[in-house]
Amino acid sequence: MLKTESKPTLRWRVAQYLERRWWQRYLRGKLPADYLRDKKAYWKRTLDQLDWPPVLGRKVLDAGCGPAGVYIYLNGIETVTALDPLLENYEAELNIFRREDYPNVKFLAQPLEDPFDDELAFDAIYCFNAINHVSDWDAAIDTLTAHARPGTRLLMTSDVHRHKLLLPNFKALPGDALHPQQHGPEAYRNALQQRGWRIEREHLLRRESIFDYTAWVAVWEGE
């Protein structure tokens, strides 16, 4: 079924602007070669921690890839499509990202919610710290699911709320302006399971005062 393009919310537009500014400040004073070397090492450690070895030639999606997503480590190992709405901004504004440096990666500069190749299904999908950056959370998870086939594996991470009492306030007010989507762990589990994803593992990667940075490893079994 064809989807129509999503209509971005004002909150999402503000978050995208702040995301660009965040990267500019974060990278100030960093040498590109040093940063990318360290980032590749970080991705290897993260995948090792999650017991997720790359598979040579596997067709994968890096959803919400940012300027230095997991594709920088997988380039030349897995066959990567990398998607992010800010790719053109990153290439113009940051000295760490040039698409030409990754000739084996197919880049798509668009929101995750918007449709792309309807016939394209992936063997594995990565969605690192991106699903809470989208404008339409349900539509974004629908897109991930639309590009799965039975047996597709998903590795998704996000900050989730630790305290139920605080969640309504964060939903109503921009207390975390970089992340338009604010959800607790049950919402993530339910959203995946309702769409036919079987959750194999859930990992707590980092605990903070308000959020748990959490990873889910899931397999799509069909609806």
The arithmetic mean of pLDDT across residues 108-131, rounded, is 92
The arithmetic mean of pLDDT across residues 62-89, rounded, is 97
Residue 6: per-residue pLDDT: 62
- Cβ–Cβ < 8 Å for 40, 101: no
Residue predicted with more confidence, 102 or 118: 102
* Distance from C-alpha of 86 to C-alpha of 88, rounded to nearest angstrom: 6
* Distance from C-alpha of 160 to C-alpha of 131, rounded to nearest angstrom: 11
E-state strands within the chain? 59-63, 79-83, 105-108, 124-127, 153-161, 197-207, 211-220
- Cβ–Cβ < 8 Å for 125, 60: yes
Residue 217 pLDDT more than 50?
yes
Residue 2: per-residue pLDDT: 42
Q: Which of 14-18, 114-118, 123-127 has the highest mean pLDDT?
A: 123-127
Maximum Cα–Cα distance across the chain: 48
Note the pTM of the prediction, 2 decimals.
0.90
Residue 180: per-residue pLDDT: 65
Domain locations in the chain as residue ranges: 10-220
Q: Poorest-confidence range of 116-120, 138-142, 211-215, 216-220?
A: 116-120
The arithmetic mean of pLDDT across residues 192-214, rounded, is 91
Q: Give the helix ranges, DSSP H, for 5-110.
A: 10-26, 32-49, 71-74, 87-93
Residue 96: per-residue pLDDT: 97
CB atoms within 10 A of CB 223: 8
The arithmetic mean of pLDDT across residues 111-118, rounded, is 87
Residue 5: per-residue pLDDT: 61
Residue 220 pLDDT more than 80?
yes
Question: What DSSP designation does 209 have?
Answer: S
113 φ, ψ (degrees, to nearest 5) = -70, -25
Encode burial over 136-161: b for 16+ CB neighbours within 10 A, e otherwise. Answer: bbebbbbbbbebbeeebbbbbbbbbb
Q: Poorest-confidence range of 38-47, 66-75, 112-121?
A: 112-121
Domain 10-220, architecture per CATH:
3-Layer(aba) Sandwich (3.40)
Residue 11: per-residue pLDDT: 78
Q: Is residue 151 left, alpha or beta, with left meaning phi > 0 and alpha meaning psi from -120 to 50? A: left
The arithmetic mean of pLDDT across residues 78-97, rounded, is 97
CB atoms within 10 A of CB 166: 15
Residue 1: per-residue pLDDT: 41
The arithmetic mean of pLDDT across residues 146-174, rounded, is 78
Residue predicted with more confidence, 161 or 172: 161
Residue 46 pLDDT more than 80?
yes
Mean pLDDT of the chain: 90
